[in-house]
Structure 1
Amino acid sequence: MLLGAIADDFTGASDLANTLAKEGMATTLFVGAGGKAGDCEAGVVALKTRSIPAADAVAQSLYAARWLMDQGCRQFLFKYCSTFDSTPHGNIGPVTEALLDLLGTDIAIVCPAFPATGRRIFMGHLFVGDRLLNESGMQNHPLTPMTDPDLRRFLRLQTKGEVGAIHLDTVRSGPEALSSAFAAERQAGHRLVVTDAIDDDDLRRIGKVATDHRLITGGSGIAIGLPRNFRDKNLLGNKVRPLPVPTGRGAVLCGSCSSMSQKQVADYSRDNPHYALDTGALMAGKLTVSEVTDWVLQNSHANPLVYSTADPGTVSSAQAAFGRDSVATTIERFFGELALALVDSGVRRLVVGGGETSGAVVEALSVRSLRIGAEIDPGVPALATERNGLLGLALKSGNFGAVDFFAKALQQVGTA
């Protein structure tokens, strides 16, 4: 294994694995660390650490990093969301600093840019489309409301030292200028350096200069330029591994409340059976997994949708009534148990919306690794694994995918 990556959620892990596979690295997605890695050039370890206490996130990330080190990795990548989902007391800064210490290196690029999905960094500020992060809808995220687009200022709340920055004009001034800029940041004692990027060429420029960087952090976009460095050293085998095609019934589960997820749920619901989870009934224990499983199986000929997706006002009301963490934990557990019941009842194609929901589903299914297939929409590949036979999956971050994503994804993760 040449490149080892740690992702703080499952949709981000599949997104990153998709990027590396498209760029020519034989890539495997691992659910947690441990055991035998098998034959791959890039290994992506999917964790579920985005919203847990920082100390726990650090411990799990370090365990994964040590496992990747044991696999012989030469370079490491810490992957978080391209909308920088965190809090002032969150995990991105502490995990990055802990990885720097473990790897014995003194600088980490911070670049969550993903231009294909509208995430761009300019003057250290994160944009989503033509809006600053805090005006994009992310300010209403139920777990990680992002109210400050200045990544340097936000990271400074989480870290022990000052945060550096390299702006777009330097990124575009050539490799020598960019290398000198990183050297200057290192000399200034800035261990985390927010680096501008507004298109894929910027990411490739950064990737080229980062060939000898031990640790890189960011969204999946920052990985675009990394495989070429290994290829230039004649380290890649350029192996193409076709994805097997599962056959059978399909279902869609969506726990994300993002603005795009709301549109996707509305679009899919027009032509397909759909079941909206009643949060009050769920919290009161009046809605059971077996009840919803029976409904899905009765409608499995039409690839039904089960969702907890709702507008910010509805979400806020539920959180006020039952507690934010309690609502999130209950819904995630419900979707995990539902996915397990469906797959063990013969569902062979499963599309999941939402990072936390995807993590709960994959953990409940107890799969160890997933193979990477074709890209469905930017950042979201088809996946295949084994659970009582071949299983096709798509794991979608809340704001990813086109409006018609669910229907497309079901077609690409297998056949009816």
Structure 2
Amino acid sequence: MLGIIADDFTGGLMIAGYIEGAGIRCPVLFDSAEVASLEPCEVFVVGTRTRLAPATEAVADVEAIAERFDAAGCTRIAYKVCASFDSTDDGNIGPVADLLARRYRQRPLLLSAGFPRFGTTVHQGYLFYRARLVSESIKRFDPLTPMSDPDLVRTLSRQTRARVGLLPHSALHAGQGPADAHLAELAAEGFDYIMMDCSDDTDAAVGAQIASRDRTTIGSDAHIIALAKACAKGADGAGISAPVEATGPAAVLVGSVGPVALAQLAAFHQHHPVLTIDILDERPEDALVSNALRWADLHIGAQPLAITTATEQVRVDEAQLALGSVAAAKKAERLLARIAKGLVERGVRRLAVAGGETSGAVVEALGISRVRALPESALGTGFCIAETPLPLSLYLKPGKLGSDDILLRAVEAMAGGSNA
């Protein structure tokens, strides 16, 4: 088995959708204790909330999950990170790499970032986001993980004492044989970790084929999806049954910030009501949640609705200055998670959530421990079905992905396009 630890819920769900689309059954667990009761399968994902966790906390979480994976008989373990390698100098990708390399005596340890189909690529070790160096893209304004250095070898080297080398596009493009030879040279030179370029899907496929021989690896979407395909050769989808989607009223929750989230909310608001919660509102959180649910009571069942903490950048800056960047984000997550619970109690059965950390908070608040990802559709991935504790159709998406009308189309797509 290949056990995948995803550093956030939406990322784990996204790759599971692509893996299911390739004819490989891929359960998604949000509670690692579920690993013990998992039915036999070739690939599975455990979603976590380690992406923004302090390094010591993330390492402890990954180690605990790795122990469960080992007990379940996993022959390969992968840690899935964000395509844009979101991290600061205090980030946890390096420390998690140290843990996995030590635990599985993996040297060199292969790492890969990027997701070419969404414009995130790595060439000569430099990360590009939508055809621009990440340090010149909107990612440099990320409120929690501003990306100011595009050199991923240098970025990772600030998080670990291990020597970090680069397996470039030229070697990967030449095929597995030349890439293996180049990798052997790097290992002989004493490099402990090897960052692999991901200029295109070929780079990802060759890199994953090489990594499939190893006990453990770290990578983003393109690498992990290709790794799953390499580890589950011959899968034809036989016996994979589609889960039954839930029906009922729909709601949208947006905790992500930035221009992408605001554009998606604006498109949704052209057709349906939107409530914005000001996290600088000094009233108790109980009052803010109650007020939002009273507002929702006016619309549930009549039409889809959206509740958000997203706002213009100037207001985001004010909130971060007043509360601190992490505290501001956590408050938004708490509010939306409690509101999600209230919405489901009021009958909402189709729920779209934008933002990886927000999705994690919502899933935990709803007590969802396992979902089945739906294969990629015209709207991409992120759709899934939860059967317990209540049947729910969910769409969990990273905050910065999707067209302007994605939220509107998502609620219409769930359960056959019912508008209520």
Q: With structure 1 as the length reference, what TM-score do the two structures score?
A: 0.94
Distance 2:324 2:130 in 1: 32
Matched, 1:256 2:256: yes
Q: What code does the residue aligned with 1:86 have?
A: S
Where does 1:228-247 land on structure 2 (aligned, <5 Å)? 228-232=229-233, 238-247=238-247
Distance 2:322 2:363 in 1: 29
- The structural deviation recorded for 1:12 is 0.9
Q: What code does the residue aligned with 2:12 have?
A: A
- The structural deviation recorded for 1:193 is 1.3
**Partner residue, 1:6:** 5
- The structural deviation recorded for 1:344 is 1.9
Where does 1:23-42 land on structure 2 (aligned, <5 Å)? 23-35=22-34, 36-42=37-43
Matched, 1:290 2:290: yes
Deviations 1:74-100 (A, max 9, x none): 212111111111110111110111012
Matched, 1:113 2:117: no
Matched, 1:46 2:47: yes
Q: CA RMSD in A?
A: 1.9
Q: Is the 8 A contact 2:289 2:335 kept in 1?
A: yes
Q: Secondary structure in 2 aligned to 1:4?
A: strand
Distance 1:111 1:282 in 2: 43
Deviations 1:40-66 (A, max 9, x none): 321111110111210000000111111
Q: Which runs of 5+ in 2 are unaligned?
A: none
Q: Is the 8 A contact 1:25 1:41 kept in 2?
A: yes
Q: Which runs of 5+ in 1 are unaligned?
A: none
Q: Is the 8 A contact 1:19 1:220 kept in 2?
A: no
Q: How has the CA–CA distance of structure 1 residues 376 and 258 changed in structure 2, closer, same or farther, with 3 Å as cutoff?
A: farther
Greater Cα shift, 349-358 or 109-118: 109-118
Where does 1:75-224 land on structure 2 (aligned, <5 Å)? 75-224=76-225
Q: What code does the residue aligned with 1:276 have?
A: T
Distance 2:178 2:313 in 1: 45
Greater Cα shift, 38-47 or 241-250: 38-47
Distance 1:178 1:337 in 2: 50
- The structural deviation recorded for 1:155 is 0.6
Matched, 1:266 2:291: no
Deviations 1:209-232 (A, max 9, x none): 222022221211112322443344
Distance 1:91 1:377 in 2: 34
Q: Is the 8 A contact 1:377 1:401 kept in 2?
A: no
- The structural deviation recorded for 1:343 is 1.1
Q: Secondary structure in 1 aligned to 2:415?
A: coil
Q: What code does the residue aligned with 1:62 have?
A: E
Distance 1:227 1:46 in 2: 16
Distance 1:14 1:286 in 2: 31
| Percent identity (aligned) | 32
Q: How has the CA–CA distance of structure 1 residues 209 and 266 changed in structure 2, closer, same or farther, with 3 Å as cutoff?
A: same
Q: What code does the residue aligned with 1:288 have?
A: L
**Partner residue, 1:308:** 309
Deviations 1:9-65 (A, max 9, x none): 111111121222222221000003114122432111111011121000000011111
Q: Secondary structure in 1 aligned to 2:349?
A: strand
Q: Secondary structure in 2 aligned to 1:21?
A: helix
Q: What code does the residue aligned with 2:281 have?
A: A
Distance 2:16 2:282 in 1: 34
Q: How has the CA–CA distance of structure 1 residues 378 and 280 changed in structure 2, closer, same or farther, with 3 Å as cutoff?
A: same
Q: Is the 8 A contact 1:26 1:40 kept in 2?
A: yes
**Partner residue, 1:58:** 59
Q: With structure 2 as the length reference, what TM-score do the two structures score?
A: 0.94
Distance 1:341 1:364 in 2: 10
Aligned residues: 414
Q: Is the 8 A contact 1:4 1:76 kept in 2?
A: yes
Q: Secondary structure in 1 aligned to 2:27?
A: strand
